[in-house]
């Protein structure tokens, strides 16, 4: 079942079928959470959004990211520039999401941190590597569109004006590649905690996402890049 839903969702995204993507996300995950049939808890991500980690099966994973809902102020201990050990395929369910590509070269502006993720959070460990980083202009993606990010490619995520937005993110893990973050040269090793939302909060988040999906259904067309 998990392999089938991942493959079905990926086909729907790549074929440019946003209505089908929204239907799969709604019926497979959001409806059961909103109805109290699922015990899954949303995670308060260190970057300030809520994450529903709805699927993890071997190298494959799916998360629903909810931006602008119950957002708390974020005080970053490092820069927002980071790279994943996952190939990511992100589809915008509603709202607009920005992705900023970052070019990294040997230099002396930032220290590279090895990000070691556990169930309780991320431990950031400084390495001996230092780099310079150049951020490109953000690309903004509207509801119904999708974009990809290869494992090991540095980037930063943004949301237009802090407005509510949601993405469903498919990931294919490459265990041989590290998760990395750029920080100040003198920042020590430290931990970023990922707290769980309570059951009532998680249900409310799912219901809000369902309401926004329904309200914005007429916008879920292959709008492409804005």
CB 43 within 8 A of CB 197: yes
Report the alpha-carbon distance of residue 19 to residue 138 in Å, rounded. Answer: 26
Kindly report the length of the chain: 226
- 3-class SS at 172? strand
Distances (CA, A) of 88 to 131, 146, 148, 156, 215: 24, 10, 6, 13, 27
How many C-alpha atoms does 96 have within 13 Å on its Cβ side? 14
Task: Give pLDDT, residue 163.
Answer: 84
Q: What is the pLDDT of residues 156-181, one digit of tens each?
A: 988 776 789 999 999 999 999 999 99
Rounded to an integer, the average pLDDT of 136-161 is 91
DSSP state of 36: T
Q: What is the pLDDT of residue 222?
A: 46
The two three-digit tokens of residue 126, written as one number = 């400084």
Q: Helix count (H) and strand count (E) of the chain?
A: 4, 14
The string of pLDDT tens digits covering residues 75-132 is: 678 999 999 999 999 999 999 999 999 999 999 999 999 998 876 678 999 999 999 9
- Following DSSP, what letter does each residue of 58-75 receive, concatenated? TTEEEEEEEESSS-----
Pairing status of strand 139-142 against strand 96-118: antiparallel
Q: How confident is the model at residue 224 (pLDDT cuts 50, 70, 90)?
A: very low
What are the pLDDT digits (tens) for 13-71?
999 999 999 999 999 999 999 999 999 999 988 777 899 999 999 999 999 999 986 55
């Amino acid at each position: 079942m998990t392999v089938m839903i991942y493959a079905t969702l990926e086909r729907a995204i790549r074929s440019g079928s946003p209505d089908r993507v929204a239907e799969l996300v709604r019926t497979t995950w959001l409806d059961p959470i909103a109805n109290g049939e699922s015990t899954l808890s949303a995670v308060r991500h260190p970057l300030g959004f809520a994450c529903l980690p709805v699927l993890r099966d071997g190298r494959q994973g799916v998360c629903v990211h909810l931006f602008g809902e119950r957002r708390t102020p974020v005080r970053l201990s490092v820069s927002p520039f980071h790279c994943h050990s996952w190939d990511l395929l992100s589809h915008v369910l509603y709202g607009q999401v920005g992705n900023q590509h970052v070019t990294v070269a040997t230099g002396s502006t930032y220290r590279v941190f090895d990000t070691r993720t556990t169930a309780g959070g991320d431990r950031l460990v400084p390495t001996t590597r230092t780099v310079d980083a150049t951020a490109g202009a953000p690309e903004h993606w509207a509801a119904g569109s999708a974009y990809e990010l290869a494992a090991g490619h540095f980037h930063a995520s943004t949301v237009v004006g802090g407005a509510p937005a949601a993405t469903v993110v498919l990931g294919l893990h490459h265990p041989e590649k590290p998760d990395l973050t750029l920080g100040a040269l003198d920042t020590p090793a430290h931990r970023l905690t990922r707290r769980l939302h309570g059951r009532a909060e998680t249900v409310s988040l799912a219901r809000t996402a369902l309401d926004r999906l329904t309200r914005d259904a007429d916008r879920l067309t292959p709008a492409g890049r804005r």
